[in-house]
Amino acid sequence: MTHERALDRRFAWALFLVFAALYLATTVGLPDNPDAEVEFQTARSLAFEGTFALGDTPEAQAIEALGFDVVRGVDGRTYAWFGVGQALVAVPFAWAGRAAAHVFPEIAERHAADQAYGFARSEYFEHLFVGLRNPLLGAWTCVLVFLASRRLGAGRGGAWFAAALFGATTYHWAQARATLNDVQATWALLLAFERWLAWRADDRARHGLACGVALVVAVLTRVALAPATLVFVVWIVVERVRARRLFALPTQAFVATLAVGAALFVATNLMRFGRPFETGYGAVLASGTFFSFPWYEGLAGLLVSPGKGLVWFASGLVLAVLGWRHVERRVLLWTVPLAAAVFAPVVATQAWHGAYTFGPRYVLPAAALLWLGVAPALERVWRSASRAALLACAAVFAFGFAATFGGVVVDTQTHLDLAAQCARTAWPDLPGKDERERDDARFVALQWDFRFAAPFAHWRIFEHKLSEGHDVYDARELFGVAQDAALQPGHERERGFRHFAWVDLRERLAGTVWPIWACLAGCFAAGWIVLRGARRRPDARRGPETARA
């Protein structure tokens, strides 16, 4: 078993190195969304000032002036209404960025002399390094898909390919290159799931401890994962009771970790807002309209809408449905309600679509969990030797890669900026008490119109960038709307390819990027070498009988 675990670790390291290089090469680095800037300001305050309150940077002052995603705390200071878990994990990255700023002060100064969205900028390297967290956690999530698939009975080859396909053919790639908290939440929940599978096979305290820590991080990162965490905890308690291990040391470690996490959750809420369960969303929830969206419309949007549906942004899930039939029944009966608990708080909200992001970001944790059915499906397709099945499987993943790649090479902010400019002409008379509400309704309408759907519109934008070499678009040609209008992205980062961190560093800040590319190429090559070395081992392709090693 030790040998089998060592071989799995080799495959896992290969997967991590390859996808870390890929995600870091395509990262946006700097916050690509106003929410992400608010989250960063919380992280940098915690790292450098020891508080969750926003500091006195130009960006923080602008956020406070606009009152964007922030709440006044009991001490009169301004706090973000996002979970503190994102900030806690980001602290080491912020410290590393501060160190880099001392090494390359001229680049930091050029950045501080610039503006974005009409506001002054600051702390380039701090922003950049905190932005590198998601690519690394995204690569780690691919590793967790591999390890969890192995523990569920998949052979090593099938598990590795399933994990690689998750990383390259789903919207996880586009999310991992961006800066919002969905990737960290997904990583934490999947880590808890994988550690639970390890705990079932090997009843040790370290597995219970790791499972508990991961669940705490998941809730502190995204409070909307609390229902899924509750399902998780109830299931574990039931399993431990059935095994007569409720008072065993691993269970005690798990429960103690949850208790510490609950205390941290309550303490941070009391410190910021004066109430133990107030996370900052209280005013929004008190309005009574936050969960008023028809749940069936939200669910349909998350599953099949051309602008946000999983069938387009994670097309391989259609195979996962077939693969789950061959997974242990008890695990299936638990995973389905766990995934449903991720969906439940999202489908009834007006923001089910995740706003200005690529794909249905709020249900990314559920997509990762459900993807674990892909490995057994792939193995059965290979064993069937059916040419039709192989071609159908290849077509599904080819489409997934094409949709995902479009979301990487063209920034989602560019697409949605251009689409929003057309929306008022396309739907001038949608209901709403004011123009803001009508714009919200138009944004939902965009998600159901194939003319504006991201998987296809991104490729048209990309083709225009390559063939025309400029960022002025014809509305009729780009979206097929009945209007003759020239469209142009409203912000500098949306033009050309500056949404890539390394392009922005070279073009805007005159930085030298070839050492970065050399390091990333070395990382990718190292992953490939490790993989080839592991595959040469005589038992590297052993099947499901080694799954629980």
pLDDT of residue 287: 61
Cα angle, residue 282 at apex, residues 281 and 285 outer, rounded to 5°: 85
Q: What is the pLDDT of residues 392-432, one digit of tens each?
A: 999 999 999 999 999 999 999 999 999 988 888 888 888 87
pTM: 0.94
Phi and psi based region of residue 66 (left: phi greater than 0; alpha: psi -120 to 50; beta: remaining): alpha
Cα angle, residue 268 at apex, residues 59 and 138 outer, rounded to 5°: 65
Kindly state the tokens that stand for 534.
């592991």
Average pLDDT of span 486-503: 87
Report which residue type is found at 504: D
Give the pLDDT band (50/70/90) at residue 284: low
Work out the percent of the chain whose per-residue pLDDT is above 70.
96
Alpha-carbon Rg for the chain in angstroms: 23
pLDDT of residue 286: 59
Q: What is the pLDDT of residues 85-122, one digit of tens each?
A: 999 999 999 999 999 999 999 999 999 998 877 788 99
pLDDT of residue 483: 78
Report which residue type is found at 538: P
Give the pLDDT band (50/70/90) at residue 537: low
Kindly state the tokens that stand for 350.
């007006």
pLDDT of residue 233: 95
pLDDT of residue 470: 87
pLDDT greater than 50 at residue 544: no
Question: What residues contact residue 257 under an 8 Å CB cut-off, 6+ apart?
Answer: 208, 209, 212, 213, 215, 216
pLDDT of residue 267: 95
Between the two ends of the chain, the Cα-to-Cα distance in Å is 5
**Measured distance CA(490)–CA(418) in Å, rounded:** 9
Which DSSP helix (H) or strand (E) runs through 119? strand 119-120
Average pLDDT of span 195-220: 95
Number of CB atoms found within 10 A of residue 392's CB? 13
124-131 and 133-151 helices, crossing angle to 10°: 10
CA 258 from centre of chain: 24
- CB contact at 8 A, 180 and 27: no
Q: What is the pLDDT of residues 20-51, one digit of tens each?
A: 999 999 999 999 888 899 999 999 999 999 99
Q: Phi and psi of 27, rounded to 5°?
A: -65, 150
pLDDT of residue 289: 63
Three-state secondary structure call for residue 281: coil
pLDDT greater than 90 at residue 306: yes
182-201 and 133-151 helices, crossing angle to 10°: 30
From the list 459, 417, 446, the residue with the least C-alpha distance to 301 is 446
Question: For 33, which DSSP code?
Answer: S
Half-sphere exposure of 251 (CA within 13 A, CB side): 16
pLDDT of residue 438: 86
pLDDT of residue 283: 65
* Alpha-carbon dihedral angle through residues 497, 502, 504, 505, given to the nearest 10 degrees: -160
Kindly state the tokens that stand for 137.
């956690």
pLDDT of residue 494: 79
pLDDT greater than 80 at residue 548: no
Give the pLDDT band (50/70/90) at residue 542: very low
Average pLDDT of span 163-170: 97
Kindly state the tokens that stand for 529.
């070498």
Average pLDDT over all residues of the chain: 91
Q: How far is residue 161 from each of residues 394, 499, 541, measured CA to CA in Å?
A: 12, 29, 12
Work out the percent of the chain whose per-residue pLDDT is above 90.
73
- CB contact at 8 A, 152 and 327: yes
List the beta bridge partners of residue 116.
119
**Measured distance CA(545)–CA(539) in Å, rounded:** 12
pLDDT of residue 490: 79
- CB contact at 8 A, 377 and 327: no
Q: How far is residue 69 from each of residues 36, 38, 353, 451, 531, measured CA to CA in Å?
A: 10, 7, 18, 31, 44
pLDDT greater than 90 at residue 68: no
Kindly state the tokens that stand for 256.
């103690």
